[in-house]
Amino acid sequence: MQQCDTGIVQSPDKRTAPTAFQRFLRWFAFVIMLMTIPQVVNVWRDGPAGVSLISWSAYLVSSFAWLVYGIRQRDPTIWLVCIGWIVVDGAVVVGILIGK
């Protein structure tokens, strides 16, 4: 009886260096978060007029869900970005609640 080639069955090693696309996604996600900072500033400075609590709360819940997924997948491209989004989304939600 021959042995099975376990290399085919095993999943690839997740500790490989990030691809160029993964590095781009990390950079791009960070830039998009920075572009959201003016929204946070507006909510805190001018009040929540025209800003949806329901939408930003949904974004916050989504960020938590993606964080859990990223941690379970051991994918820093996902979970590092989600931590940033939780901070940004949370700041908008708190700003809306305080401003009402």
CATH 1.20.1280.290 fits 52-100, yes or no: yes
All structural domains of the chain with their residue ranges: 52-100
Among 70, 69, 43, CA closest to 56: 43
pLDDT at 84: 93
Q: pLDDT (tens digit, 9 = 90+) per residue, 57-100?
A: 999 999 999 999 999 999 888 888 999 999 999 999 999 999 86
Under 8 Å between Cβ of 14 and 72: no
* Residue 5 falls in which region: left (phi positive, over 0), alpha (psi -120 to 50) or beta: beta
The number of C-alpha atoms within 13 Å of 53 and in the hemisphere containing its C-beta is 10
